[in-house]
Amino acid sequence: MTSLQYMSGFGNEFSSEDPRCPGSLPEGQNNPQVSPYGLYAEQLSGSAFTCPRPANKRSWLYRILPSVKHKPFTSVPCGDLTENWNEVEPDPNQLRWLPFTIPKATEKKVDFVAGLHTVCGAGDAKSRNGIGVHVYTCNTSMVDRCFNNSDGDFLIVPQQGEILITTEFGKMMVEPNEICVIQQGMCFSVDVFGETRGYILEVYGAHFELPDLGPIGANGLANPRDFLCPVAWYEDRKVPTGYTVINKYQGKLFACQQDFSPFNVVAWHGNYTPYKYNLKNFMVINCVAFDHADPSIFTVLTAKSTRPGVAIADFVIFPPRWGVADHTFRPPYYHRKTHPGGASLHSIMTPHGPDVDCFEKNSTAELKPERVAEGTMVNKQNIYMVNT
């Protein structure tokens, strides 16, 4: 397909209109009596109206038909998606999952929504405080179906196979070693190109933001300019047989029908958008003398809690980098805190760290400069749950 276009920046005030409809963005106001081309003006809010300006998130969408034009929602099966953490007894032991099996398309066609599997979580979508960790496995594209999450934001991490995500704001191609964030309330559909698998970190009641840099200074880690937001794209398509909108609400799935594509936004402006980021652009900060810095220096995005300095969830990576520390055991140290396609869980205050072979090898290794994690990328969703 034709190379997709993007706009650069994190949390910027963006504006975009499909070039097929020049002048479709109203000038000087958000909600004119009659919008250009007879479009409907619709605001999507990602925060309360009265939030302070730095935290106020909203975008104005100009669409062919308003999104309210749908039939009633009805409950549908949730499959392996859940937020009932009481289904299993608490277990403080270190847990590890083998790679989740991707169904063969010849045996059963599974799209992104049908292939969602919850691994773990904490908190509650109803109280707007907590997280869910999911895996998706799928082999077919979503056809005349889209997904909308009323509970929170999805941070999507492809592990196998690229995904083409169509949103109300435009299209994004997301490949392994990239991430994307679809924020609360945004409709999206996922196209795949074979057997596909990845991870999802969902947060309730907060949005992802860049971590504060403190003494690092003005630059470093994930730089704002490297985040990419889609440009406006629309389809004016009727679906007489019915288009299905699947909504995640209070941990359950609901579906409604409409007779048109929801991706009918001709133009939009605002600071509440989906976005993607290539992890190779992460500017690593590392120790150059001795000992380890804490893994928080590898934080790409954070979702802050109401408690200063404590996150609901951090998304952390361990990218390829130079290891040069002297007189130091270079692998991650043993600690207590909160495989490709697999997953592991280290519960709060359960000790974990390197295994025996790793310990013995690195306790006697010659400490010369070396490339660490070359040819691999470890994504670590560090989760700190705060009870409020």
In contact, 144 and 244? CB cutoff 8 Å: yes
* Secondary structure (H, E, C), the chain: CCCCCEEECCCCCEEEECCCCCCCCCCCCCCCCCCHHHCEEEEEECCCCCCCHHHCCEEEEEECCCCCCCCCCEEECCCECCCCHHHCCCCCCCEEECCCCCCCCCCCCCCCCCCEEEEEEEEECCCCEEEEEEEEEECCCCCCEEEEECCEEEEEEEEECCEEEEECCEEEEECCCEEEEECCCCCEEEEECCCEEEEEEEEECCCCECCCCHHHCCCCECCHHHEEEECCCCCCCEEEEEEEEEEEECCEEEEEEEEECCCCEEEEEECCCCEEEEHHHCECCCCCCECCCCHHHHEEEEEECCCCCCEEEEEEEECCEEECCECCCCCCCCECCCCCCCEEECCCCCCECCCHHHHHHHHHCCCCCEEECCCCCEEEEEECCCCC
Residue with tokens 């749908």: 70
Residues annotated as catalytic (active site), given as ranges = 292
Q: How far is Cα 353 from Cα 184, in angstroms, rounded to an integer?
A: 35
CA distances from residue 270 to 11, 53, 299 in whole angstroms, order as listed: 9, 13, 26
Q: How far is Cα 279 from Cα 142, in angstroms, rounded to an integer?
A: 26
Residue with tokens 């936004």: 265
Consult the annotation and say whether 335 binds a ligand.
Answer: yes
Strands 238-249 and 145-149: parallel
- One-letter amino acid at 84 equals N
Residue 172 phi, psi dihedral angles, 5° rounding: -135, 130
CB atoms within 10 A of CB 357: 8
Sequence ranges of the binding site: 335, 352
Sequence ranges of the binding site for Fe cation: 335, 352
Sequence ranges of the binding site for homogentisate: 352
